[in-house]
Each structure stands twice: as C-alpha cells, then as structure tokens.
Amino acid sequence: MRLRWLTMMLVCGLLAGCSEPGTDAGFAGLGGAAGPEDGFEQPGPGTELVFPRDFGPHPAHRIEWWYLTANLETDAGEPLGLQWTQFRQAIKPRDLETEAPDPSGWPLQAAWMAHAAVSYREQHWFGERLARGDLGQAGATVEPFQVWLDHWQLTTGDSPDDWQVQVRHGQPDTDDYWAFDLELTVRGAPVAHGVSGFSAKSASGEGSMYFSLVDIEVTGQVRLGRETLPVRGKAWFDREWSSQFLKAGQQGWDWFALHLDSGDKLMAFQLREQQGQFRSGTWIPVGGDPMALAPGQLQLDPDISAGPVPTRWRLTVPDHGVDLMLSAPPGNYTNDGLYPYWESPVTVTGSHTGVGYMELTGYSGQ
Amino acid sequence: MTVFTALLSHYRRHPWQGAALAILMLLATALWTGIHHLTSQARDSLGQSERLVEVREQVQRVDGAELTVEDFVLLRRQGLCVMPWLEVLPEGESRRVIGVDPLAALCFQGQGDVATFDGQPLVGQPFLDIADAAALMAAEQQLFLILAAGEGPLPSAYRTAPFALSPDTGQLGDSFLLNLDALSVLVLLITGLLLRSVYLLSLSQRRDSFALLTRFGVSGRRVRGHLLLELLCLAAITLIPGIWIGQALASVLEGGFANVMEGLFDSRQLATGGNHWLVPALVMTLLLLAVAIVDWLMPMAACAMPGSRLRPAAAALLVLAGLAGVWLADALWLLFVALALVLAGIGWLMPRGLSLLSGAGVRASAQPGWRWWWAEFGVLCRRLALPLVALQFSLAMVLAVQALVITFEDTFDRWLGQRLSADVYMQVPDGADSALAANWLTEHLPTADEGLWHHVQRGSGRFRYTQAWQDVDVFAVTPVGPLMTGWGLLEQTSQPWQKLASGAGIMVNEQLAYRLDLSVGDQLELVLAEQVQSLPVLAIYPDYGRPAGEVLIAGQSLPADYDLTFESFSLSPASVSLQTITGALRTLWGEPALTIRDNRAIQDLANRVFEQTFMLTRAMTVLTLALAAVALLLMGWVFLSTRLWYFRLLEVWGMTKAEIFRKLLLLALAVTLSAAALALPLGVGLTWVLVHRINPLAFGWSLPMAVYPVFWLELLALALLIGGCIALLMRRQLGRPAVRPSVTGSVTGEER
C-alpha cells in the first residue's frame, strides 16, 4: 500500500503538484497542516538561524530546498540563465540527533527531488531527478557543505566559500545532452529574510525559515548539445525550510530575486490567495543592512495581456524609490517536470536596471 | 400457487434430486474455479514478467558478489540510470513480490510519470515499495539492478547481463497451462454430462406436473422459461459457495503449483492481483443453461440427422477424424480439439455399443431369467447413458494421468540417479584455482580403485543454427569418465562418450533438440569466448530438470579465456577417503571451509519437488472421479427405484428376495464394470496421447510409454464398489411398497 501512497504523494502531493487552484492543501500540497500530531516542527517568528548548521538538512521539518539561480553571459556577451534546485520532502520527521535508518532496508523517511534548467537563446533545457533519502543516493551535509542527488551535486572546495555545481543530463555526445560545471565564489554573509530569518507567508502566520546568499560570482562551462559555452556572471542562492509553507487555500506564488546594476539586491514575492495576495520582500542596499519589506511596502502587478502565465511585471517599492519593469525573454520557460512551473531569467528596466530570476507557480496554463 | 412454485414443488417431493444438482454444481464450480484461478494467476505472472523485462539489461558485480544498496548508490552517483528490483519470496508464501523504487524508475522514461516503468504500471501486485518488500520476513530475497537502455560505460567492477525473469523456454510454460486448461475443459464436459443426466431425470419425473400446467393454460414456452429461471436460481445459490471453495482449493494447491512453474519452467511466480472468479461463474452458469437449452435444440439436430442408423456412422466418423487429428496435430490446441472429437464420438458410441451387446445377450440366452437380465441391462445402459459416459471419461482420465505420473516418477528417478551418480558434489570456491585440484585428483585418484571424479565448468555460449543465434548454457566436463558414461541417451552416434572425451563433438539436451529440431550428426557453429568451433551433435540426452538449452562438451574444448560462471567437482571416493581429498583441496586452495553436498540428499529433495509437480493433476482427476462416482450412485439409485415395480414382478414369478437382490447386484455390477472396462482402452489411448503427443508439446521432453495393469484392476474394483453400493441401496428399496408407473415415458423406468 505504501507504494501506492508514495506514488499518489508524488503525483498529487508536493513533488507532483495538485495545481488545482483553491484546494485546501494549497498550491502543490504545500498548505498541508503541520501540528504536534504529525511530529513535524514548525518554525515561527522566534526561531533563530544558526550557521553553518542551517546550510544542512532539517529532518524534523517537512519540506526544504537549496536553490541556485544564475544570470550569466557567454564569451560573446549573450545572456544565459541557469537554475539548480534540490528539494527534500519528509514523510516521517526525525531529530537531527537521531541516527538515520539502515540503508539496507531501503528506508523511505524522505524523498528528494532535484531540478536543473538552462535558458539560452529563447530555448529552455530542463531536467528532473528523484531519489529516496538515507541511502546515500541523495542528501546534504554541513561540513563539508555539499548537496547531491545522483551525479548532480553542489560541493565545496578548499575554502568554504568556493563551491562547485555540476549537472549532466542525457547521453553525452548526443544533441539532447546538456550539462553545466560551475565554479562559485560566495561573497558576503547570508541575508536573513523576514524576522531574523522567519519569513511569513500569510497574514495568519504560516511561513518558513529563509535566508539567501545574494552575491556570488560564477565562472564555468555550459554544454548544450555538442556546443560548449564558457560563461561568467552572478548567482543567488536560497535556503528555505518549513513544515507548513503555505496557508490552506493559497494557490501559488510569484517570486523575484534581482541583481540591480546599482549593486543593490531585491527579493520580492507574493502568495496568491483566493481573495487578494500576501506580499513580502527584502531590500538589500549595497553596503547597508537588509531591510524586510512589509506587505504594504511593495506592489507587484502582472501584465495579464502576456498570456496565461504573466511574464511581465511591474514591481514598485516606493519607500526606496524602486519602480521596475521585469520582463522574461521571449520563449517558454516552463519547468515541465512532475509539477510544472515557470522559471526564467528577467531583465530589469525602469528606475533601476539589472537582471534577475522569476519563479511563477500555480498558473493553470503551466 | 404460481407456476414457479408449482415447478419447484418437485424438489420438495424429491429433495435428493435438488441436492444432487446443487452438489454437482457446487463441486464442479469449486474444481473449475480452483484450476482457473491457478492457471490465470500463472498466466498473469508469465505475461507480466515478459512485458516488464523485455529486452532489458541488469548490472552484475564482476566478482560475483550479491548486489547491495551500496552498489545501487555507487552506480547512481556515477550518473547511470539503474533501478532496484528486489524480489522477495515471503516466508510461508509461494509467490514472489517485487520491491521497486518508483523514484529511481523516473529516469527510465524521462519526466512526467513516476507510476510506470517503460509504460508498465508499477502499482498493485506483485509490486511493493522496496522498503516494504525489504521488511518482509523472506524465505528468499535477491536484489537486481536494472539498467536503462543505452547507459554506460559501467565502472570496471560491474558488467551487464540480460535481465529476464524466466528463460526463453519456447512457450513451454504457457503450453503447460494450456494442458491444465484442457484437463479442466474435460472436467467441465464430465460435469455437463452429469448435470444433464440429473436434470433429465427431474424433467421426466415432472411430466405429470407439466401436463397439469398445460391443462391450466400455461404455455410450454412459459414452462420452459420458468425452468430456466429455476436453473438460474440454482446457479445463484451454488456459485458463491462453489467459488469460495474453489479459491480455498487454489490456495491449498498454490504452493505445489508455484513449485511446478518454478521447477519445470524456471518461471518465478509473482504475486499478481485479480480475483479470477468471474469466468468460472459465467462458465458454470452457461453450462447449466446449456444443459437445459440443449432440449430445445434437439429437434433441429434430429432434423439434421434423420434416421438412427446414421448416428453411429456419424459418431464413428467423429472418432476417425479425431484420431487423425491427434496423429497429425502440431499445435497443442489443435491436439486438444482432435482429442475432444474422439471423446465426443466415443461418448456417442458407448451407450449404443452396450445396447447392441444387450440385444446379443438377449438373443443368446435360452433361459427366461437371463433374457430378462440382458434386457434390463440394455434398459439401464440406455437410461444411464450420460452418467455412464461421464464415469467412463473420468476413469480413463484417472488412468492416463496416473500412468503418466508413475512413468514420470520412475523415469525422473532413474535420470536423477544417473546425473547424481557421484557420491558428493563440491563447489569450487570463488578465486580458487580449480586446475590445482584437478592435478591433485589426477595424481591421487588415477583409477576407479582410488575413486572416481570429474570436473564440471559452467558458462554460457551461443551457436548459429539456420541463420539465427541461440544462447545456451555450456557444461564442460573433464575427464569424461564412468560417472557420466552411464547416462541414458535418447539418440546417439557410435561411441558418443569417447568422441565427446576427444573433443570431437557435443551433446545437447532434449529440450534444445526438440525446440530446434536438432538430430545427431547436425553440425553446429558453437561460439565460446568469441571463438567459433564447428562441432557435430554426438547425442541427445534427456533432461527433466531445466527448460534451458544445454550443451555438453569436453573441458579441453573450452578456450583459455572462457568466462566461467560456476565450477564444481563430482567425487565418488573409494580407497582414498573423502576426508583425505577434502583435506588436500583445502590446503591447496587455502580455504578452511568447502561447500560439499551429499548427492543423495539432493536427489531426495529433487524427488520431493517433482512429487508436487503432479499433485495438481492428481487432485483434479481424483475429484472428478469422485464427482462421477457420486453422480452415478445417485442416478443409479433414483433410476433403479423407478424400476422397482418391475423387479417386484420377479417376486410374483416366484423368485425369492435374495435371488432378486443377486440379479440386481449382478445388474448394477455389470453396468458399472462395462463402463470401467470400456474406459481401459480409452485410458490407454489417452496415456499414449499424453506421453507421445502432449508432453513433447507442453514440456519439451517425452517419456517412455508404460501401462500399469495393477492400477487397472484397482479402477475395476472401484467400479464394482460403485455398482455394489447401488445394489445395496436397492436392497433397502425392495422392502418398500412400489406402484406401477402410470405414464409411459421413455426417460422414466417405463420400458419393457
């Protein structure tokens, strides 16, 4: 029966996505209630971030992810977007101190999923991998910091600020093959979002622990088919975990991470509810302290004429003189996996210029 | 009172008839459900295995060690798309389950669907989540790692091998199931005859009621409709318990059946889902309806074949056509159709033949008492024709199956004795140099006085035959000596063992020879380790153990770089003791523990497994015989009761009750004995068909034909017992008052 359940969970749960709007479980099942009865811990406004521990997994929480987006350029100056994400979905909670189950029993306390995508010249390459936890096939460790699923991996070099991300998809030497091999240099301390890292996701208090590394230099190579492209640029890395991410009834979210040419960074998101939205964000001025943006401090307006998935947005933060137009390049950037969603680089115009990434989930056209 | 209750009142007056119909239906349903359940499950299992692992490769460790979760992780982390497949035989179960990881299966079909593996659903039996499968108390457990197409190269510690749940046995497993199906159709035929006989009896006894209903204005059509309704009610009442008993029967026989499929066809039985009750329920209902509807079709049949003289001719034609079919059929289903024609013809001829015999008896008897007896015999044979044919068929079936089973047991035991002629069998440990052992044995056991031995090296190879490549298991033996030369061979050239020993040819097993139509003298291009050798077939040896194609060659013919999968020594120590031999080999190999098996224990185990092989067919035949015997007993009793008035006339003629009973006893014994006697040639014929026609088609091997007259005597004694029981029941009836039958009907006892 567990196989049926597992399959159902994957198909209809978080990983596979019940993207029917308005279900009680919310978008992608992320609104599943957490409570003492299921044993999962739920973070709140009093929860503190602890480093480096929080780079590693949180098995007492239901859901978490490691998420990297990069806005790169080829040697020819052409923009290239790139994304790598690894998710962990717990089926059974476990304390950090509790020993992991014996791999020989093929335990199923957690399922892992990895996504990777490359966006270049209006084309989008996407791959997805799944694994069960505690075997060694997928996992994450703090020291050294590494996250892996099969041969897709983020590893740390000699210095803890030097990272490598490697992804290979398909059979080498074929037209469908694509891969990337990146060297990352992390600059700056982690930026805690919300209240000391607790990022509210609704007015009623659901939320997650959320921090980002917003200043990462990237060099490396991207292989698309039989072509190898040297690339360089900047990346944004998110860490987020929770046991009840969304409020029941929330249908999806719109998320933006922007590198402005002024050196400032901006993260903004909104969660679409049956009536209205819940918005939040963080303004990270160059050389200054990050400032959390309350729901009333930012405005996000989609250009609904663009199609079922809004690929042009107006983002305003009046308190900081920000009035931006965010535009995805032409093309379809749907990550067409078990749970389809939109993930694309954006260009920023308006009061500031720059680049960034946009993730849109829960639209019926996806 | 409605028409329906008026009709049903018959069973109030004759509860035994109602009970007989119900019991027949119930037992037949149970038997049929049981067999159908087992064969359907096995078919599902075969089908599912074939679909799931079609053209698939697995990963194996080069060092031969069993795969573990660490191997899976290592390969996945190298970027290879492998999927775990954990086969578990739970303790106390006979069917395997498969533990799978749908998350790992994702890479087999790309994105979008975790519930399938190359389009096959992974949900529902026999699949479990691999964690649940691993948690089962397992009698056997094996992890396979299936490799997606086009993946590679593998790390050097691993290699690929074809992944199949069962070897390509040329549809042998399916043929075996068809064999069982045919047997169950025969059971169905016998049941139909029995049901029909009981039903006809009830019809004839209700003739008065029908006449009365007609006088009340109820049309014949309406009566027939109500009779059908009555039968449907009977079906409804008996089907559910029948199906339930059948499923219980299937679960009792399941273990033996799974052993048969695994033992004979290497087909690991998977726990498949599905309740196979709908088909038996439908078939039994249709059978019951056919038993009734055949009356309505009879007038048409009579029109089609006017004149009673033509009927025996048509029956004889059926038998001849059937016999020709049996002789010529090259597919199992055709053979069964032909056999059905023969049986139908014989069933038609049998009552007619007995009737002719009775006529001859009447004419030949001078004494009135005997004339009466022969006439009465003729009446009984005509009126009990259907249950008698059913008894004849079931006796013939029992006889044939029994002959097959005994022959098989004898042959198998002899064959196994030859194969395991050495006293012990010793496995060469991994990494040990078998040449060291062979040299030591050559030196210390040079003649039979010191002891006999040979070295067996196993691996795989292929050969080209009529343009196609055939994979075979290779057995290389050194030296070819007395432990082997006693093997019985089915076909051989002159001095086959000497030629084999000199490397001048190969021997093949019967299954391979049968499948590819190989004969002694055929030249084969055998490929071993990429070296091609052209060798003639020296002999064909019987092989009842495995369905796979097998080639026997001399050890010296193996190329030096041949990849061995297994090595062993067979030993029969004489003056040099086993302890001395094993001690020396332990020292040579540096292995403190050697795997040594006593061949007698292996033989016992193999015999036990094969004992179960025919448990199912035996159970079927014995149950059918019991069904036929009980039905005949009931029919005989009911029918003879209707003749009671005439038997009383004998008393009027001056015979004592004891004399009448003797006449009756003789009569009942003669009738059942005739059926049994006629069953003997039919049974011998069926044995021949089973041994020479069905077995090669179903199993790939044939057996010598043998008959067992002692068993014939046992069956004749059983027939006499049934006859005796009928007579004893009649003796009780003789003491009761009897009335003269008031209607003259051909189906009742009213016939002079």
> How far is Cα B373 from Cα B481, in angstroms, rounded to an integer?
69
Percent of chain B at pLDDT exceeding 70? 75
With CB atoms and an 8 Å threshold, state whether B77 touches A131.
Answer: no
CB pairs under 8 A between A and B: 97
Among A145-159, B116-130, B217-231, B546-560, the range with the most confident prediction by mean pLDDT is: A145-159
Between the ranges A120-134, B509-523, B576-590, where is the mean pLDDT highest?
Answer: A120-134
The SS3 assignment for A56 reads: coil
- Checking if the pLDDT of A116 tops 90, the result is yes
What is the pLDDT at residue B236?
Answer: 80
Q: How far apart are CA B225 and CA B230, in angstroms?
A: 9
Integer CA distances (angstroms), A240 to A67, A145, A243, A350, B519, in order: 8, 16, 11, 30, 73
Judging contacts by C-beta atoms under 8 Å, the chain B residues touching residue A132 are 101, 103-104, 131
B-chain residues near A108 (CB < 8 A): 129, 131
CA atoms within 13 A on the CB side of B205: 22
Q: How far is CA A288 from the centre of its chain?
A: 25
Element holding A222 (H helix, E strand): strand A207-224
Closest in A3, A130, A336 to B128, CB measured = A3
Residues in B touching A103 (Cβ below 8 Å): 69-70, 73
Query: Cβ contact (<8 Å) for A338 and B100?
Result: no
Q: What chain A residue is nearest to B107 in terms of C-alpha separation?
A: A129
Binned at pLDDT 50, 70 and 90, residue B2 comes out as confident
CB atoms A105 and B134 under 8 Å? yes
Taking the CA of residue A240 and the nearest CA in chain B, the distance in Å comes to 23
Are the Cβ atoms of A136 and B128 closer than 8 angstroms? no
> Which comes out higher in pLDDT, residue A122 or B350?
A122
Q: How far is CA B439 from the centre of its chain?
A: 47
- Helix pair B207-215, B172-205: axis angle to 10 deg: 60
Q: From the CA of B101, how many Å to the nearest CA of chain A?
A: 8
Give the tokens for residue B474.
């290779």
Give every CB contact of residue A97 below 8 A, 6+ residues apart in sequence: none
Q: How far is the alpha carbon of A195 from chain B, nearest alpha carbon, in Å?
A: 36
The two tokens of residue A189 are: 């301390």
B700 touches chain A (CB under 8 A): no
Cβ-contact B388, B675 below 8 angstroms: yes
Q: Is B47 left (phi over 0), alpha (psi -120 to 50) or beta?
A: alpha
Query: Which tens digits make up the pLDDT trace of B153-167?
Result: 889 888 877 665 443
Q: What is the pLDDT of residue B109?
A: 63
Confidence (pLDDT) at B274: 55
DSSP at A39: T
Interface test with A, best of B66, B83, B114 (most A CBs within 10 A): B114
User: Nearest to residue B194, comparing CAs of B109, B266, B291?
Assistant: B291
**Highest-confidence segment of A162-176, B261-275, B422-436:** A162-176
Tell me what pLDDT residue A24 has. Answer: 41
Q: Find, in chain B, the residue whose alpha carbon is nearest to that of A107.
A: B131
Write a three-state SS string for B511-537.
HHHHHHCCCCCCEEEEEECCEEEEEEE
Q: Note whether B502 contacts A: Cβ–Cβ < 8 A.
A: no
Report how far residue B520's alpha carbon sits from residue B537's, in angstroms, rounded to the nearest whole number.
Answer: 5
**Which helix (H) or strand (E) segment is B729 a member of?**
helix B709-734
Verdict on whether the full-model pTM lies above 0.80: no
What is the arithmetic mean of pLDDT over B25-48?
Answer: 72
CB B540 within 8 A of CB B507: yes
For B309-364, the pLDDT digits (tens) are: 667 788 888 889 999 988 888 777 788 788 888 888 888 888 788 888 888 988 88
Q: Do B111 and A336 touch (CB under 8 A)?
A: yes
Looking at the DSSP assignment, which residues form a beta bridge with residue A83?
A69, A117
Separation CA B370–CA B380 (nearest Å): 15
Residue A183 pairs in a beta bridge with A164, A219
Contacts 24+ apart (CB under 8 A), B412-420: B412/B544, B412/B607, B412/B610, B413/B603, B413/B607, B414/B488, B415/B488, B415/B542, B415/B544, B416/B544, B416/B545, B416/B603, B416/B606, B416/B607, B417/B603, B418/B486, B418/B487, B418/B488, B419/B487, B419/B545, B420/B599, B420/B600, B420/B602, B420/B603
Least CB–CB distance from A11: residue in B69, B107, B114? B114
Q: Do A136 and B86 touch (CB under 8 A)?
A: no
| Confidence category of residue A349, pLDDT binned at 50, 70, 90 | very high
What pLDDT does residue B741 have?
54
Task: Report which listed range, A53-62, B272-281, B625-634, B704-713, is most confident.
Answer: A53-62
Q: B235, B350, B237: which is closest to B290 by C-alpha?
A: B235
CB contact under 8 A, B70 and A151: no
Which single residue is written with the structure tokens 């309406």? Answer: B222
User: Between B105 and A316, whose confidence is greater?
Assistant: A316
State the Cα–Cα distance between residues B130 and B148, nearest whole angstrom: 19
Spell out which residues of chain B touch residue A104, defining contact as CB-CB under 8 Å.
68-69, 134
More confident residue, A138 or B484: A138
**pLDDT value of residue B746:** 41
Name the minimum distance, in Å, from the CA of A129 to any CA of chain B. 7
CA distance B39 to chain A (A): 26
DSSP class of B160: E
Query: Residue B292: its pLDDT value, please?
Result: 72
Judged by CB atoms closer than 8 Å, whether chains meet at B77 and A128 is answered as: no
Q: Is residue B177 pLDDT above 70, yes or no? A: no
Task: Tell me the chain A residues in contact with residue B88 when contact means C-beta distances shorter than 8 Å.
Answer: none
Residues B60/B75, Cβ–Cβ less than 8 Å: no
Closest approach of chain A CAs to the CA of B279, in angstroms? 27
Axis-axis angle for helices B15-52, B3-13 (nearest 10): 100
pLDDT (average), residues A212-239? 96
The pLDDT, as a whole number, for residue A49 is: 94
CA trace torsion B141, B147, B152, B156 (10° rounding): 10
In B, minimum Cα distance to A1 occurs at B128
Which residue would you say has higher pLDDT here, B656 or A167? Answer: A167
**Is A150 in Cβ contact with B79 (below 8 Å)?**
yes
Residue B30: both structure tokens together: 């149970």
- Whether residue A107 has a cis bond before it, omega within 30° of 0: no
User: B104, A136: Cβ pair inside 8 Å?
Assistant: no
Q: How far is CA B736 from the centre of its chain?
A: 47
User: If you measure CA to CA, which chain A residue comes closest to B83?
Assistant: A131
Residue B566: which of B599, B595, B537 has the closest Cα?
A: B595
pLDDT single digits (tens) A9-63: 444 343 333 333 333 444 344 545 545 557 889 898 889 999 999 999 999 999 9
Q: Are B125 and B272 in contact (CB under 8 A)?
A: yes
Lowest mean per-residue pLDDT among A249-258, B230-239, B477-486, B541-550: B541-550
CB contact under 8 A, B68 and A137: no
**Minimal CA–CA distance to B676: which of B734, B741, B748, B628?**
B628
Q: Rounded to whole angstroms, how far apart are CA atoms A114 and B225? A: 68
Q: Does B137 touch chain A (CB under 8 A)?
A: no
Whole-angstrom Cα distance, residue B312 to residue B353?
9
Higher pLDDT, B706 or B547: B706
Distance from CA of B128 to the nearest CA of A (A): 6
Identity of the amino acid at B581:
I
Give the list of residues 6+ apart from residue B106 with CB closer than 8 angstroms, or none.
A128, A129, A130, B113, B114
Residue B182 has pLDDT above 80, yes or no: no
Tokens of A13: 């749960």
Q: Which of A159-163, B537-541, B690-694 has the lowest mean pLDDT?
A: B690-694
CB contact set of B632 (below 8 Å; sequence gap of 6+):
B384, B387, B388, B390, B391, B672, B722, B726
- Between CA A332 and CA B25 the distance in angstroms is 66
Question: Side chain identity at B597, as an amino acid letter?
Answer: R
Q: What pLDDT score was predicted for residue A319?
A: 95
Model pLDDT, residue B221: 78
Among all residues of chain B, which has the CA nearest to that of A151? B77
Q: How far apart are CA B370 and CA B524, in angstroms?
A: 71
Contact B103 A168 (CB under 8 A): no
Contacts of B77 in chain A (CB under 8 A): 136-137, 148, 150-151
Which of A3, A19, A108 would best serve as a mutation to test chain B binding (most B beta carbons within 10 A)? A3
The mean-pLDDT minimum among A88-92, B281-285, B334-338, B731-735 falls in B731-735
Sequence length of chain B is: 752
What's the whole-number mean pLDDT along residues B224-241? 81
Residue type for position B468: A
d(Cα B578, Cα B570) in Å, to the nearest integer?
12
Nearest by CB to A129, from B86, B102, B107: name it: B107
| 8 Å CB contact of B103 and A130 | yes
- B621-638: average pLDDT: 71
List the helix and strand counts (H, then E) for chain A: 1, 23
Q: Verify whether the Cβ–Cβ distance B114 to A130 is below 8 Å.
A: yes
Nearest CA in chain B to A128: B111
Q: What is the mean pLDDT of residues A168-190?
A: 92
Residue of B629 and B689 predicted with greater confidence: B689
pLDDT digits (tens, 9 = 90+) for B109-128: 644 444 555 555 665 667 78
Segment of A131-135, A335-339, B44-48, B736-740 carrying the highest mean pLDDT: A131-135
B130 CB within 8 Å of a chain A CB: yes
What Cα–Cα distance (Å) separates residue B702 from each residue in B406, B422, B578? Answer: 14, 26, 37
